[in-house]
Amino acid sequence: MTSNVRQVAIGSHTIFVDDDQPTFWERVEAGRWEPGTLGVLERFLRPGSLFLDIGTWVGALTLYAASLGAEVVAVEADPKALEQLGRNLAANPHLAERVRVVPRAIAAAAGPVRLGARRKPGDSMSSVLLAGAGETWTSPSVTPGEIAFGIPGRRRFDLVKIDIEGGEYALLPQLGPILDRAAALLLALHPDILQASGAELEPRNTLEILRGWNVERVGTTDLVPARLEDVVEAGPAEWLFTRADGLPPVEPS
């Protein structure tokens, strides 16, 4: 280990980190970073589970999921975040063996994707909606179908997490291949970024793909039952969607 590697307590586990985010990890250790989110992972993930982490950043939830014994597909398009994610995985070789990193931007179609960050790459706030603001770059893409059909054994996702700073609105209507085999979706919505970007998207329409799913708002310590209409009308928040018809079947290889 180098002198930059440090031990961090996250939820009920301990990991090592080797990135450039000391203030963030101080919040994690103090229990001030998304305890409700960690609780959702604890509810759905166990040894042998499959977690899809879209918008991985430096890997906090990816590493926690792996600590719980889950296998992880980690999707991240920010080059600075990817570099730090790689260092964090290298600091946890026993967890890294359960993680597959997809260094691409998830998008409806193949081709290059422009992203941007208001402050700088790697700050956790990069988005396709910020491609015209601050520093920008281009990432190769991966489609929902490529992710879903590229999983060995065509297994179901026990939990899918999406946190892509406003890019979720354009992605959701194209997410069918993943949702068809997902038991639950942990979705961070950023209507403020969508509004500020001027993108001509109607949240009510983009969320229709989740009509019929059970929905709960993720709080600090608990989950609050909600309706899809509540999701549309709320400000920035995190939501848990679970299938009303139970778990999707495990498909044969």
Whether 104 has a pLDDT exceeding 60, the answer reads yes
Q: What pLDDT is stored for residue 151 in this prediction?
A: 84
pLDDT at position 253, please?
43
Whole-number Cα distances in Å, 180 to 41, 157, 245, 249: 20, 9, 11, 9
Q: How far apart are CA 100 and CA 74, in angstroms?
A: 6
When pLDDT is cut at 50, 70 and 90, the band that residue 1 belongs to is very low
For the segment 227-235, the average pLDDT, to the nearest whole number, is 94
Answer yes or no: is pLDDT of 72 > 80: yes
Instruction: Give CB contacts under 8 A, 24+ apart, made by 147-154.
Output: 147/52, 147/73, 147/75, 147/102, 147/106, 147/177, 147/178, 148/177, 148/178, 148/180, 148/181, 149/177, 151/50, 151/73, 152/253, 153/250, 153/251, 153/252, 153/253, 154/181, 154/250, 154/251, 154/252, 154/253
**133: buried, middle or exposed (CB in 10 Å: 19+, 13-18, 0-12)?**
middle
Mean pLDDT of 98-127: 89
pLDDT in tens, 47-69: 999 999 999 999 999 999 999 99
pTM greater than 0.85? yes
